[in-house]
């Protein structure tokens, strides 16, 4: 996804970043889960004010005593706000049954984020999760590629 969104030119620069995150929150009926995630993002080289629009992809894992969930999200950040959507894969209790669903999220802040996400899976009512997340965005440098980009 990130390579598709980047500009295509003879010598492409992809200013990438990686951002690990740790979250504690509250989900109604599910208690206080802990989440970890990693986001890979791309700083776009476009004119102001769009230059602060940052696309990214996230893989995450949420754990509580009642259920675990793995999720994959596509997201966009703009200055101190962001939103995303993706797919959730939940395991229920001690059995190895996995159900899938849709996930949306929003956040605000810088390094310390207030978060909200909503997960809807086929086996239950939609769940709202509210949390506090610490992230640490780190630049990966410019990934230089010679010649046209091949996807």
Domain-embedded: residue 37: yes
Domain-embedded: residue 55: yes
Task: For residue range 70-93, list pLDDT tens digits in order.
Answer: 999 999 998 899 999 999 998 765
* Strand blocks (E) in the chain: 11-27, 34-42, 53-63, 67-78, 81-92, 98-110, 112-121, 127-135, 138-146
Q: How many domains does the chain have?
A: 1
Domain-embedded: residue 73: yes
What is the domain range of residue 37? 2-6+20-145
Q: Averaged over 80-109, what is the pLDDT? A: 87
The helix or strand, by DSSP H or E, that contains position 3, with its residue range, turns out to be helix 2-5
Domain-embedded: residue 150: no
Tell me if 56 sits within 8 A of 39, measured CB to CB.
Answer: yes
Asked if pLDDT for residue 99 goes beyond 90, the answer is: no
CATH number for the domain including 106? 2.40.160.20
Domain-embedded: residue 117: yes
State the average pLDDT for the chain. 81
3-class secondary structure, 73: strand
Task: For residue range 36-58, list pLDDT tens digits in order.
Answer: 999 999 877 766 666 678 899 99
pLDDT score, position 49: 66
Work out the angle at residue 100's Cα, subtended by the Cα atoms of residues 99 and 101, and round it to the nearest 5 degrees.
130
Tell me if 94 sits within 8 A of 70, measured CB to CB.
Answer: no
Asked if pLDDT for residue 106 goes beyond 90, the answer is: yes
Alpha carbons 70 and 89: distance in angstroms, whole number = 5
pLDDT score, position 10: 35
144 pLDDT band, cuts 50/70/90, is: very low
pLDDT score, position 14: 66
Domain-embedded: residue 106: yes
Tell me if 139 sits within 8 A of 15, measured CB to CB.
Answer: yes
Centroid of chain to Cα 17: 13
């Amino acid at each position: 996804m990130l390579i598709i969104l980047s500009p295509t030119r003879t010598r492409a620069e992809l200013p990438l970043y990686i951002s690990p995150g740790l979250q504690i929150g509250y989900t109604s009926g599910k208690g206080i889960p802990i989440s970890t995630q990693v986001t890979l993002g791309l700083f776009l080289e476009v004119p102001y004010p769009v230059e602060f629009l940052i696309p990214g992809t996230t893989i995450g894992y949420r754990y509580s005593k009642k259920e675990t969930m793995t999720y994959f999200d596509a997201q966009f950040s703009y200055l101190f706000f962001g939103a995303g959507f993706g797919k959730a894969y939940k395991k229920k209790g001690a059995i190895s049954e996995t159900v899938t669903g849709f996930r949306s999220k929003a956040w605000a802040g810088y390094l310390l984020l207030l978060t909200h996400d909503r997960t809807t899976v086929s086996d239950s009512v939609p769940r709202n999760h509210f949390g506090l997340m610490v992230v640490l965005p780190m630049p990966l440098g410019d990934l230089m590629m010679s010649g046209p980009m091949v996807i």
